């Protein structure tokens, strides 16, 4: 029943994307956003991915959702460009099933052509997979994305079984450290040291480090001192509907300081 409803929901465009800004600590400005899917269910209201992604991942439905999301992002970038709005890269979550069986590369070429979107505006987020056998297949897919100039991120880094062997073998551009690592940083020196070391490890591999789930200023300061590149979390903003996200980019307190500095520089 749920499967049929999801399919119908996709046909009726009941799925919408919210965009969560990512703040680049070194540039002092927002450098991109993550697209996160929500289902505007006619009876149940706005449903978060927890309500349907795991279910969808049991079948090819997830591929339909992921393809839909990727096309919607291209459509949205085209719309923002048309309206002369700020265009920052957008990252899209792609499930393993979609990567391995969904012909995602062809779909990406198709939708970037259709909306005339530079693939450099897209980033793909992949959650690590427990099976080592998948590594070779994943590696070949990642290389194809990279040839198209699409960046690849490993999402929820550190939560799987194979993190370390993974990041050495697969040339990820971005490492997103799982928010669980922040859980007890305030009280636990070991928790802080682990984050610090993941950041250093990522930098050894020339990856850009995003810390997800950051909720307060103290954490931002700590992560800046540790050399993290970028922060995503409720501290800056929750995921926002497209129009609110653009308003946020136009008018937010976080970039004011950076703007002041550029103006001073120009004078």
Q: Which of residues 12-71 bind ligand C2E (CB under 6 A)?
A: 20, 36-37, 48-50, 53, 62, 65-66, 69
Give the number of residues in contact with Mg ion, rule: CB under 5 A.
5
Any contact of residue 76 with ligand C2E (CB under 6 A)? no
The only residue of 128, 155, 173, 229 in contact with Mg ion, by rule CB under 5 A? 155
Any contact of residue 229 with ligand C2E (CB under 6 A)? no
Q: Which residues are CB-neighbours of 52 under 8 A, at least 6 positions away?
A: 2, 6, 39
The interface partner of residue 202, options being Mg ion, ligand C2E, none and the CB cut-off 5 to 8 Å by kind, is none
Any contact of residue 128 with Mg ion (CB under 5 A)? no
Nearer Cβ to ligand C2E (94/170): 94
Any contact of residue 128 with ligand C2E (CB under 6 A)? no
d(CA 53, CA 69): 13
5 exposed, middle or buried (CB, 10 Å; 0-12, 13-18, 19+)? middle
Q: Which of residues 206-225 bind Mg ion (CB under 5 A)?
A: 212
Give the number of residues in contact with ligand C2E, rule: CB under 6 A.
26
Q: Residues 172, 139: contact at Cβ < 8 Å?
A: no
Six token digits for residue 189: 């020196």
Shortest approach of ligand C2E to residue 92 CB, angstroms? 6
| Cα–Cα distance list, 80 to 19, 115, 221 (Å) | 13, 12, 32
The only residue of 59, 147, 215, 262 in contact with ligand C2E, by rule CB under 6 A? 215
d(CA 80, CA 111): 16
Q: Which of residues 74-113 bind Mg ion (CB under 5 A)?
A: 93
Alpha helices in the chain (DSSP H): 2-11, 53-56, 61-82, 96-101, 104-114, 134-147, 163-169, 189-204, 217-225, 242-250, 256-266
Q: Which residues bind Mg ion (CB under 5 A)?
A: 93, 125, 155-156, 212
Residues that bind ligand C2E (CB under 6 A): 20, 36-37, 48-50, 53, 62, 65-66, 69, 93-95, 125, 155-156, 179, 212-215, 232-234, 239
């Amino acid at each position: 029943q749920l499967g049929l409803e999801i399919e119908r929901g996709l046909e009726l465009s009941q799925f919408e994307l919210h965009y969560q800004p990512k703040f680049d600590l070194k540039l002092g400005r927002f450098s991109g956003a993550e697209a996160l899917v929500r289902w505007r269910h006619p009876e149940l209201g706005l449903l978060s991915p927890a309500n349907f992604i795991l279910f969808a991942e049991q079948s090819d439905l997830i591929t339909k959702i992921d393809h839909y999301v990727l096309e919607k992002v291209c459509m949205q970038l085209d719309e923002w460009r048309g309206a002369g709005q700020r265009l920052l890269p957008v990252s899209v979550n792609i499930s393993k099933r979609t990567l391995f069986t969904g012909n995602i590369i062809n779909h990406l070429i198709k939708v970037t052509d259709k909306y005339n979107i530079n693939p450099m505006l897209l980033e793909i987020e992949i959650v690590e997979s427990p099976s080592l056998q998948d590594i070779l297949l994943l590696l070949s897919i990642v290389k194809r994305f990279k040839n198209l100039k699409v960046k690849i991120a490993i999402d929820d880094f550190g939560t799987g079984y194979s993190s370390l062997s993974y990041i050495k073998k697969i040339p990820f551009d971005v490492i997103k450290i799982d928010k669980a690592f922040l859980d007890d940083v305030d009280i636990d020196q070991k928790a802080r040291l682990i984050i610090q070391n993941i950041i250093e490890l990522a930098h050894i591999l020339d990856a850009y480090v995003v810390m997800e789930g950051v909720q307060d200023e103290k954490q931002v300061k700590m992560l800046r001192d540790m050399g993290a590149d970028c922060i995503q979390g409720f501290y800056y903003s929750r995921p926002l509907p497209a129009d609110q996200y653009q308003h946020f980019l136009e008018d937010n307190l976080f970039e004011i300081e950076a703007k002041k500095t550029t103006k001073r520089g120009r004078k």
